[in-house]
Amino acid sequence: MRPLGELDDPRRRILIQALAAGFFSSAGNAAAQLFGKAPGRLPAGQSIFRVTGRVTVNTQLATLQTRIVPGDTVETAPNAEVVFAVAEEAFLLRGASRMVIEKPPSGLTTALRLVTGKVLSVFGRGRPTRIVTATSTIGIRGTGAYAETDPEQTYFCTCYGVADIVANNDPSSRETVSASHHDRPLYILAKGKAGGSIRNAPFINHTDQELALIEALVGRTPPFVFPLDTYNAPRRDYP
């Protein structure tokens, strides 16, 4: 007679060993990594929905289990990307980016500093927020926004909502944009003429499907129904 706990059937033994080793959980994670997953409100305690490539939070390598809170610095390597949520805000940070989520100075105001790189963000309604980039300071309310910044200029698209934009080096250059669907993307220059540091820009490098994705992480839906048909990869039609 076999001792208690020893299994006769080798298939059962392999199955139990696989379960114990977390094989199916790993397989599920691998499948999700490969084919993605349907976005929904992130469970309590989870910040990151998707991480691709080398991403760090406060210089520590990020995983799906990493929590991100105000005060953290998130950094991506070139070709990396991270999709995450902090409280009622959600972000898609593209490669070669560095962003600091600042601790709110008051209960109502949050702030983030995009040191370099590209970020798509959505913010909860009724939560005034400030975005600081290399060349601009932007106050926003209930907004979806996309920003790209480098030392020379910032690209800023108010995807929807209201944004008050000021050029850092030229306070006389300021604009208030009230947008419903990418109505007025702008460039904010580091070295523009006085009063002329803000210029119109085209719609680039972000999609409505990405906005819908990050809104879903915080349980919201973007205000538009049909995505703008301006994606970057034209496809062949079926004959």
Partner 1 sequence: MRRGETIPSGARRTVTGPVKPAASLRELGSVAAGLALLAGASAQARAAGYSEFIDSLQFRGFRAEASYTTDDNVTRAPAGDALRDRILGVRVSAGGVIPISSRTRVSIQGFAGTQRFSTYTGLSNNFIGTQADFFFRASGEFAAPTYGAFVRTAKEEYESTLRDGYRHAFGVTVLKPATDKVQLSGGVTYNITDGKSTVFDAKNVSLRGNADWSLGRWDTVYMGVEYRRGDSISTTGPTLSAVPSPNITDDAFSDSLRTAYRLKASTFVATLGYNHAFSGGHSLDVSWRRVQSKAQDSPPGSIDLSYAVNQFSLAYLARF
Binding site for partner 1 (CB under 8 A): 34-39, 49-50, 52, 81, 83, 94, 205, 208-209, 212-213, 215-216, 221-226, 229-230, 232-236, 238-239
The nearer residue to partner 1, 109 or 209, going by C-beta atoms, is 209
Torsion, CA 85, CA 91, CA 92, CA 94, rounded to 10: -120
Least separation in angstroms between CB 236 and partner 1: 6
The nearer residue to partner 1, 94 or 127, going by C-beta atoms, is 94
The nearer residue to partner 1, 1 or 38, going by C-beta atoms, is 38
Least separation in angstroms between CB 68 and partner 1: 18
Q: Containing H/E element for 73?
A: strand 73-76
Nearest Cα to 214, choosing from 143, 155, 128? 143
> Cα 150 to the chain's mean position, in Å?
18
Task: Specify the residue for token string 């799906």.
Answer: 64
> Cα 20 to the chain's mean position, in Å?
34
Least separation in angstroms between CB 28 and partner 1: 13
The nearer residue to partner 1, 1 or 35, going by C-beta atoms, is 35
Least separation in angstroms between CB 17 and partner 1: 30
Calculate ∠ Cα 200-78-133, nearest 5°: 40
Identity at 217, one-letter amino acid code: L
Distance CA 237, CA 145 (A): 32
Residue 171 CB neighbours (<10 A): 12
CB 45 within 8 A of CB 82: no
Distance CA 47, CA 34 (A): 20
The nearer residue to partner 1, 36 or 195, going by C-beta atoms, is 36
Least separation in angstroms between CB 38 and partner 1: 5
Helix (H, G, I), strand (E, B) or coil at 208: helix
The nearer residue to partner 1, 128 or 227, going by C-beta atoms, is 227
Least separation in angstroms between CB 35 and partner 1: 6
